[in-house]
Structure 1
């Protein structure tokens, strides 16, 4: 297996607002490439260079909103997967400054597991301000991401963030997240009063 870092790095940024997602994406790229006034339901894909790496950023600023429907989550995750084909190396959770609620945690888990059951191996938490108080739920999310948390400060450098990205790559032997590896699980219930017929139909389905 080739464990060298891939030349191209694909990064998906999941967040709550267009302005903050654009801020982080533009910080990584070192230029104003992402539109801070773009519609929140549109996933953007931009390319650039960070240090000696070619970078593709997929920006999805609405996926962590707690009022988003399951259908919207499914459609937007599919779009992110398509735009990061064959899969992202890093997924960035851009979480809000305020204390996270149980509802926020549920939303984060639902979104991430829509990518893959192994998604936490490729995920980190990023905040644009230092939290003013300790939040247990935020800490639980960070712990699930192997304690990878980057706080974006005025003194921060894109190269500092790149190091975190490359640490994630190294932990995964340079492999990207395979979002199709889990397959689609389908649960069926066969109803009826004829047990023999139900058994026969079930056997046909499972073949």
Structure 2
């Protein structure tokens, strides 16, 4: 049986029968984007099943961490806050160029980790600008992970899913989204595998 992983929990083993990438594919490259370094780092640690990113200390440069999942290598590229309204065009270009270099020859998946109550129209436009810098097909490889709000209330999932900036981004990403609440690692990796399959196992050409 597959063992559940909490986002901050102790690493557990995946089911031996679980395989999320084609046999001929040995590495998966995932770019983490979103409006909270802490959230992105926590999700990155969840995927890697160990603490590699410090959620409390945001660096001023891109970080890359490699890990092993089911005899496959996964590469996570975590970025500083590219969605800040105060970031200069020059700094944004510098970070994106670094991210492109670190994901060479190209990313397979963009994981957009979003906090719904803090996600604004400006954030949405900034995400679109960042993804467009990677190429016109970036949204074909994007998966939205919606963080659990700080204060849950009845119907919050539907309310936030209909939040205009988030709703538009979900549509742009071909309705690929997951809720972080009660998320299982197997479920997330299966979605990664689906995106890889939809793109014939090819990475984004940079």
Match of 1:59 in 2: 78
Instruction: Provide the residue aligned with 2:44 in structure 1.
Output: 25
CA distance in 1, matches of 2:70, 2:140: 24
Mapped partners of 1:41, 1:87: distance in 2: 22
Indicate conservation of the 8 Å contact 1:93/1:125, yes or no: yes
CA separation in 2, counterparts of 1:62 and 1:37?
Answer: 13
Partner of 2:12: none
Aligned pairs (5 A) from 1:77-156: 77-98=96-117, 100-129=119-148, 132=156, 133=159, 134-153=162-181, 155-156=182-183
Please give the secondary structure, in 1, of the residue aligned with 2:66. strand
Q: What's the TM-score, normalizing by structure 1?
A: 0.78
Q: CA offsets per residue over residues 71-105 of structure 1, 9 Å max, x none?
A: 12211111111111111100111112216332222
State the 1:67 CA deviation.
2.4
The list of structure 1 runs, each at least 4 consecutive aligned residues, that deviate by more than 6 angstroms after superposition, is none
1:161 maps onto 2:180 in alignment: no
Of 25, 32, 41 in structure 2, the residue corresponding to residue 13 of structure 1 is 32
Q: Is the 8 A contact 1:26 1:33 kept in 2?
A: yes
User: Cα deviation per residue 1:153-174 (whole Å; 9 max; x = unaligned)?
Assistant: 2x32211100111111001000
Structure 2: runs of 5+ lacking an equivalent: 1-21
Task: Give the Cα separation in 2 of the matches to 1:50 and 1:66.
Answer: 36
Structure 1 CA distance for aligned equivalents of residues 52 and 174 of structure 2? 30
Is residue 56 of structure 2 the alignment partner of residue 37 of structure 1? yes
Whose radius of gyration is greater, 1 or 2? Answer: 1
C-alpha RMSD of the superposition = 1.9
Q: Within 1, Cα distance between the matches of 2:71 and 2:85?
A: 37
Instruction: Give the Å deviation of 1:4.
Output: 5.9
**CA contact 2:116–2:166 (8 Å) conserved in 1:** no
The 1-side partners of 2:199 and 2:189 are apart by 15
